[in-house]
Amino acid sequence: MSKKLLLEKAHVENIRLYDVYRREGGYRSVEKALKTMSPDQVTEEVKKSGLRGRGGAGFPAGMKWSFLAKPEGVPRYLVCNADESEPGTFKDRYLMEFIPHLLIEGLIVSSFALGSSRTYIYIRGEYAWIVDILEQAIAEAKNNGWLGKNILGTGFNCEIYVQRGAGAYICGEETALLESLEGKRGNPRLKPPFPAVKGLYGCPTVVNNVETLAAVVPIINLGGDEYAKIGVGRSTGTKLISACGNINKPGVYEIDMTISVEEFIYSDEYCGGIKNGKRLKACIPGGSSVPIVPANLLLKTAKGETRYMNYESLSDGGFATGTMMGSGGFIVLDEDQCVVKNTYTLARFYRHESCGQCSPCREGTGWMEKILWNIENGKGKMSDIDLLWDIQRKIEGNTICPLGDAAAWPVAAAIRHFRDEFEWHVLNPDKCLTENYGLRHYADPIHVPVA
Amino acid sequence: MAIQFSDKKLNEVKEIIARYPDGKQKSALLPVLHLAQEEFGGWLSSEAMDYVASLLSIEPIEVYEVATFYSMYNLKPVGKYLFEVCQTGPCMISGSDNIVAYIYEKLGIKPGETTADGMFTLKTVECLGACGYAPMMQLGKYYKEHLTKEKVDAIIEECRRNAVANN
């Protein structure tokens, strides 16, 4: 059983309400930080904890905080990124829906550390009902003296506001998010300057994911060193994984990053095995942008070692044979799924979500979508597969934000590992409309554990 | 119909503007556009957008830029009930195609179309963050998840009942 730091109390009845949350030990980290620590000491604990950004990039959060410029007389901002939009990812939603005060508590401590007296939660527009949940939690926190002026008599002032987006994946990119928060189109900014120097309204700003900010609560309660003992290597603490696709128990799980991928998929504590007794074909373990891997490379690394649910192990082998932890959006495909069709829907997603600023992404994503549609619908040519490879290579690294890479990687990985499935579509233009390629022989024999 | 918020809504606009530092009222644009869409028939006419521009003391073009960028703003009228069915990877592998096909079978509308009585519009959308509860659709403020044919039937019935009750 994995240690739970974030969702431990998520199932306590009425934990959404302040009184219950407080009775269960909530807001202790605010008392500890504001009364016994300096802002720099809080940052130091976050650094020691080894906490890595939970939005997908995995950048050390404490280090990000320490980059924040602090010029005299200029306001600083903390912005919480709740624009969760990476296909396969629904963990932040779960946290905000079921234990909203944990996020508010983390935001108060983090605002104190960074010196933000006006903190924003930018939430994707579709999560409309969660806005109400968060605003209620904020109002309760304020009524009980955790927000507002002179919090706990320390002289620290802080307000938290919720801003609703309006449907744009790109606003999960931090500079696009800031543009959107300023009331503009979500076009990512050129970096440098980084938000830590020039962010919201041109002021120093830190943007962190919901789960990252919630994790500040156990870090302060336990101390950074204790938190860092949980997990393994540079994958410290716990991680929320949102599991979906063809599994028996889709949902959000908190893991301590020491369990194997095999255990995560087949154990009844987590995914509960593949639905309908089918066999595992492939998996996209960290949200749609990360490379898809066939079952044999998912459960074991290319060296034949057990693969674990953590940053290092999932990326073992690089993009040739590994993948990424990403946002923790764990998408499982069974033997009946078509990799070409799946790749097509993801390419369509990225075309839809490209902001249109950079030509390689704007033109390339639409081009890849068209070619993939042709192959999926029996209208593809053999040369299309190489053309796809060529296009994705020319998008990757040639755009000002990572959406280009995010669009390129799924196509590259699908061709890398499932090229024969693409070829089968081209060679069987009629059959591919009614049948699926299935498991066939695309990879080494697949180990199928008993659920 | 002249476009004008009620006093209650105008107060809400004021409260929204107060969330931002002085002079940064443009930040209120996205939330105020949501309000305008709710108030003025589920879509944003150019009249509604110009009105929002005047409320925030910004140029109309600044509003058009934003309204055309974000997928949740409807720039054309939509039916009373908007079915937004997710069709991205995780929903697709869980059978979202069947849901879109079933809605066509029941209501005779394809994605982008509205029923003749103006009651229902079908739209396919990209990932809404409900991948573990697929297939799903957004209906107004809420998500309808774990969709089956029976559930779609029930949702359509419920909408029709509500429409009658609200008339």
pLDDT of A443 over the 70 cut: no
Nearest to A88 among B27, B69, B90 (CB): B90
pLDDT value for A451: 42
Q: Are A87 and B71 in contact (CB < 8 Å)? A: no
Angle of the A210-222 helix axis to the A28-36 helix axis, nearest 10: 70
On chain A, the residues whose CB falls within 8 A of the CB of B90 are 87-88, 244-245, 331
In chain A the domains, ranked by start, together with CATH numbers, are: 18-229 (3.40.50.11540), 235-334 (3.10.20.600), 339-434 (1.20.1440.230)
Burial of A298 (0-12, 13-18, 19+ CB in 10 A): buried
Report the 10 Å Cβ neighbour count for B152. Answer: 22
Work out the average pLDDT over A422-444: 86
On chain A, the residues whose CB falls within 8 A of the CB of B128 are 126
Listing from the earlier edge strand, what are the strands of the sheet with A293-294? A251-255, A239-245, A329-334, A280-284, A293-294
Residue of A nearest to B84 (CA): A126
Please answer whether residues B85 and B107 qualify as being in contact, where contact means their C-beta atoms are separated by less than 8 angstroms.
no
Homologous superfamily in CATH for domain B7-69: NADH-quinone oxidoreductase subunit E (1.10.10.1590)
CA distance A327 to B73: 27
Q: Are A349 and B88 in contact (CB < 8 Å)? A: yes
What six digits make up the tokens of B114?
A: 């509205």
User: Residue A406, SS3?
Assistant: helix
pLDDT of B79 over the 50 cut: yes
pLDDT value for A353: 97
Least confident of A383-392, A439-448, B132-141: A439-448
Architecture of the domain made up of B81-166: 3-Layer(aba) Sandwich (3.40)
Percent of chain A with pLDDT over 90: 95
Q: What are phi and psi of A47, to 5 degrees?
A: -60, -50
Q: Which of residues 46-75 of B touch A (CB under 8 A)?
A: 56, 58, 62, 65-66, 69-73
Largest CA distance in chain A: 74
What six digits make up the tokens of A98?
A: 């079921």
* Residue of A160, A244, A248 to mutate, testing the B interface (most B Cβ within 10 Å of its Cβ): A244
How many CA atoms lie within 13 Å of A334's alpha carbon, on the beta-carbon side? Answer: 17
Report which of A258, A249, A219 is spatially closest to residue A106, judged by C-alpha positions: A219
What six digits make up the tokens of A32?
A: 């500890």
CA distance A222 to chain B (A): 31
On chain A, the residues whose CB falls within 8 A of the CB of B130 are 90, 93
Which residue intervals of chain B are DSSP H helices? 7-17, 29-39, 46-55, 60-69, 89-93, 96-107, 149-166
pLDDT of A165 over the 80 cut: yes
Residue-wise pLDDT for A53-98, tens only, equals: 999 889 999 999 999 999 999 999 999 999 999 999 999 999 999 9
pLDDT of A449 over the 60 cut: no
Question: DSSP label at A190?
Answer: P
pLDDT of A2 over the 80 cut: no
Question: DSSP label at B146?
Answer: S
On chain A, the residues whose CB falls within 8 A of the CB of B136 are none
Helix (H) or strand (E) holding A20: helix A18-23
The label of the residue with tokens 């697709």 reads B92
Considering chain B, tell me which residue range(s) the CATH 1.10.10.1590 domain(s) occupy: 7-69
Report which of B140, B145, B142, B141 is spatially closest to residue B130, judged by C-alpha positions: B145
On chain A, the residues whose CB falls within 8 A of the CB of B55 are none
DSSP B9-35: HHHHHHHHHTTS-TT-GGGGHHHHHHH
CA distance A82 to A79: 9
Work out the average pLDDT over B82-109: 96
Q: Is B165 on the interface with A (CB under 8 A)?
A: no
pLDDT value for A210: 98
Q: Is-above-0.80 flag for pTM?
A: yes
Considering chain B, tell me which residue range(s) the CATH 3.40.30.10 domain(s) occupy: 81-166
Residue-wise pLDDT for A206-250, tens only, equals: 999 999 999 999 999 999 999 999 999 999 999 999 999 999 999
What six digits make up the tokens of A370?
A: 């068209």
pLDDT value for A156: 98
pLDDT value for A255: 96
CA–chain centroid gap for A403, Å, is 14
CA distance B102 to B113: 14
Per 3-state DSSP, what percentage of chain A is helix, strand, and coil (rounded to 5)? 45, 15, 40
Nearest to A166 among B33, B130, B141 (CB): B33
CA distance B123 to B137: 9
Please answer whether residues A401 and A178 qualify as being in contact, where contact means their C-beta atoms are separated by less than 8 angstroms.
no
CA–chain centroid gap for A240, Å, is 9
| Strand-strand pairing, B142-144 and B137-139 | antiparallel
Percent of chain A with pLDDT over 70: 97
Residue-wise pLDDT for A402-424, tens only, equals: 999 999 999 999 999 999 999 99
Residue of B nearest to A132 (CA): B141
HEC string of A347-391 equals HHHHHHHCCCCCHHHHHHHHHHHHHHHHHHCCCCCHHHHHHHHHH
Listing from the earlier edge strand, what are the strands of the sheet with B137-139? B120-125, B81-86, B137-139, B142-144
Nearest to B89 among A124, A183, A346 (CB): A346
